Amino acid sequence: MLALVCAADASASQLIDRNASGIRLAVNAHGEALLTYRAQGGVHHVRAWGAINARYPNPHLPQVQFRKDYSGRSWLGFRNACRSYSGPKLAFFVTGCTAPDGSYWAVQSWRRTLPNFDGRPHAGLGAWELHLSHWSGGTATLEAWTDWVYGGRYHHLFGRLMYGGRPVYGFFATRAGSPADNYGRNIYVDTFDSRYGRGWRRENAFLAHRPTGIFCYGFYPFTPRGPGNGTKYRLTAVGSGVTPDVSVVVPGLHNYDRNNAADVAYERQQNALLDSIRGVDKKCRAH
């Protein structure tokens, strides 16, 4: 099957809250973070600690997660020792800092749970989630490419999600394609200036495959408003473990012209690229 159509409702291990404002981050000399923000009509002080980076997928060990204290009792006397953020540029960045040990902390906020196919947000879907990360060294990498499938009939995305040079994937998922463990990750795709309207609109979300971290997605007419072909696409994934969320933007394509030598050559090139990275993946075989 070329693409998995699924609900974008998987949870993230570093999710702190939703629809927050006035966000401030402090980190003490003991490696504990304090997030202060407004949400649900009040001020919140949330402490997080006990995790950094990520584990590679392992069915016998749980993925790293923060311990979190929402009681609001542990913020008085908290002494910030964090310096200005000097880490890599991050998508959806809100604030961050560099800890005394040289590791990085960051806060990101984005609308992970928007309904597929530019559906109207409802029942809590589409909230601005507040994500906290803590890492040293590299982040996850999200690579994506475009081409066409089924003789050029449909536009197509494919790529891979990696961490430390190894695939990111989970061991359990729901029938709808949402991760059911803390290793699995969905790829969230937004399309720009499509049939849905101007600007960024949510197209779909799907799992990075086990054990390759590969994904592929065809822009089929899933709804009467589709297909959601856009002038560019933004792909986003929650970071592995407690590393930062990652995002990449790739340009869209025009409709395929089998009489255009450049289109034929590009499609042949992209098919070879997909074949070279998919390894043992059994789902991304369509050209």
Domain residue extents for the chain? 15-135, 141-277
> What pLDDT, on a 0 to 100 scale, did the predictor assign at position 8?
41
Low pLDDT (below 70) residues in the chain = 1-13
Cα(34)–Cα(55) distance, integer angstroms: 24
H/E stretch holding 266 reads: helix 261-277
> What pLDDT, on a 0 to 100 scale, did the predictor assign at position 123?
80
The CATH class of the 141-277 domain is: mainly beta
> What pLDDT, on a 0 to 100 scale, did the predictor assign at position 124?
81
Q: Beta strands of the chain (E only): which ranges?
A: 15-18, 21-27, 33-39, 42-49, 67-69, 83-84, 93-98, 104-110, 129-135, 141-149, 154-163, 166-167, 186-194, 197-207, 214-218, 232-237, 246-251
Confirm if 191 and 229 have CB atoms less than 8 A apart: yes
> What pLDDT, on a 0 to 100 scale, did the predictor assign at position 11?
45
> What pLDDT, on a 0 to 100 scale, did the predictor assign at position 122?
85
